[in-house]
Amino acid sequence: MSHGQFYKADELVELIHHNFGGFHPGARAVHANGRIHAGTFTATVEAKSVSRAAHFQGTPIPVTSRFSGGSGDPGASAGGTIAMASRFYLPDGTVTDLIAINLPAFPARIPDDIIGLLSVAQPDPTTGKPDLAKVQAFLADHPAAGRVVQLLQVRPAPVSFAQVSYRPLHAFRFVNAAGEGCWALSLGAGGWQCRSVGRGNVATTARFPIHRARESFAAGSGGIQARPPTRAGGRSGGRPFGVLA
């Protein structure tokens, strides 16, 4: 059930300020500290067979990408949760955004769930830490959130913005020029598949690798590249949708 984009927004923002670095006038509630890179995105040949989107047609598209830490304190260093937000500047003058984060999944399905999780995770005024019993009780009632928390506890800490897999935690449906649609389904470390669904059948139409973002510090570059992961021996895991440079 949809309650609209501002459903319990005030309550949610207040909890975010309380849990993620406090209130800082003029700064974002979260991901306040970031760095921006400018470059171009060029789609591969495979991309336009899946989507008719303007930036998937092979023409180099100007793009800016912002890497940020999760805290709402603009003076805080990046911690375990970091993000990559990219804006594509399309030929017709419009823009489209792709927001990605290094979480394996989001811990809540609806606004009430994230509000509940943030509420029990608030630091106790006496100890400065969350009440573990309250957190465990909430996760017992929300097993999907509990699974995400388990994954977060064992993931490696980020070494840099460059050595992280970023995931847009949304459902994506692509439609090509012929009007054929497919859904992007995650394969975990193996990348993802674009699948068409009809009459109870699921047919794979394409398979693509997960992208890694790599900061380029070559002289005169200052941009970023999105590259597929490599397998043993340095061979590519497959063709990506495109390259950011």
Catalytic residues: 31
> How does strand 34-43 pair with strand 61-69?
antiparallel
Tell me the sheet residues that pair with 213. 164, 226
Residues, the chain, total? 245
**165 Cα distance to chain centroid:** 9
List of E strands, the chain: 34-43, 61-69, 82-89, 95-101, 164-165, 173-175, 181-186, 192-198, 201-208, 212-215, 224-227, 242-244
Residues 6+ apart with CB under 8 A from 205: 50, 180, 182, 193, 194, 195, 196
**Contact between 243 and 42 (Cβ < 8 Å):** yes
* Residue with tokens 């030929």, as numbered in its chain: 91
| Listed residue (61, 36, 58) closest to 45, CA to CA | 58
Distance CA 240, CA 233 (A): 19
